[in-house]
Amino acid sequence: MTFFTDAAAFLPVLLNGLQVSAILTLLSLLFGLPLAGVLAFGIMSKNRVARLIAIAIVEVGRGAPALVLLQLMYFGLPDVGITLSALASATVALTWTTAAYCAEYLRGGLSAVPAGEIEGSQALGMTTADTLRYIIIPQGWRIALPSLMGFAVILFQATSLAYTVTVQEMMSQAYSLGASTFKYLTVFVLAGLLYAVISIPATWLSVLLEKRMARHL
């Protein structure tokens, strides 16, 4: 029974941390998704320079572990005179990861729009801007949506790494509770369950969405 009494005492502190985890997730999506859109068009651009820059940003963002980017922003940026708060540097790092992964999902979605639709809109005399605005983007982002949701779940889990750069999110709260009470098992199991309670239904939702989309496409 001690698990439950301990858990009841730990829960409010962990929930405070969970708020920070959620804020970090939302901020990274807020900045990362628009950037991902820009990068997706950059990768598909005919301009060589733009394409190479976009590919480099995406490859580093996907190739380097989120943990390395987090520490690069927190321990590295002060060396070049940029000192950010813990939350800000974690947001920058995870925004990069988000932008890189989501750029690939969006690019995949946009290029999955059937060529006949684009040829059709050109034959109808639509401008390139209108083709993008009314034909390619509305369909492309819907194709990418399930992958984007799946990524959001992974991003939420990745915020647990932000404790290494002293962001006061759930893992850091769990760690200090563990260090002060020595009830490591209880507190980490509880933290793990809190992550699971959010991640698992969110994953189901993205799978459900994928099935529903498959019906229409």
Partner 1 sequence: MLLTVLAGIPLTISVTAVALVIGTIGSLPLLFGILSGNRLVWLIARGIIDLCRGIPIVVWMFILFYGVTIGGTKLSAFGAAVLGLGIVSAAYLAEIFRGAISSVAAGQYEAARALGMTPRAVWGDIVGPQAWRVAIPGYTTYGIGLLKDSSIASTIGVAEMVFRSNSYARTTGEGITVFLVAAAIYVIVSVPVGVLSRKADEKLSAVVAR
Q: How many residues bind partner 1 (CB under 8 A)?
A: 41
Q: How far apart are the first and last CA of the chain?
A: 52
Residue 196 C-alpha from the chain's centroid: 17
Binding residue for partner 1, selected from 196, 208, 212, 213, defined by CB under 8 A? 196
User: Which distant-in-sequence residues (6+ apart) come within 8 Å of 174 by Cβ?
Assistant: 10, 14, 17, 187, 188, 190, 191
Residue with tokens 């321990």: 75
Binding residue for partner 1, selected from 50, 53, 145, 189, defined by CB under 8 A? 189
SS3 letters across the chain = CHHHHHHHHHHHHHHHHHHHHHHHHHHHHHHHHHHHHHHHHHHHCCCHHHHHHHHHHHHHHHHCCHHHHHHHHHHHHHHHCCCCCHHHHHHHHHHHHHHHHHHHHHHHHHHCCCHHHHHHHHHCCCCHHHHHHHHHHHHHHHHHHHHHHHHHHHHHHHHHHHHHHCCCCHHHHHHHHHHHHCCHHHHHHHHHHHHHHHHHHHHHHHHHHHHHHHHHC
Binding part of the chain for partner 1, among 28-36, 113-121, 123-131, 198-206 by CB under 8 A, reads 198-206
Whichever of 43 and 136 has its CB closer to partner 1, that residue is: 43
Closest CB 140 distance from partner 1, rounded Å: 22
Binding residue for partner 1, selected from 157, 166, 176, 206, defined by CB under 8 A? 157
Whichever of 110 and 177 has its CB closer to partner 1, that residue is: 177
Whichever of 41 and 74 has its CB closer to partner 1, that residue is: 74
Site for partner 1 in 16-75 (CB under 8 A): 59-60, 63-65, 67-69, 71-72, 74-75
Closest CB 161 distance from partner 1, rounded Å: 6
Site for partner 1 in 94-153 (CB under 8 A): none
Binding part of the chain for partner 1, among 47-55, 110-118, 141-149, 158-166 by CB under 8 A, reads 158-166
Site for partner 1 in 159-188 (CB under 8 A): 160-161, 163-164, 171, 174-175, 178, 184-186, 188
Residues forming contacts to partner 1 in the complex (CB under 8 A) are 59-60, 63-65, 67-69, 71-72, 74-80, 157-158, 160-161, 163-164, 171, 174-175, 178, 184-186, 188-189, 191-193, 195-197, 199-200, 203
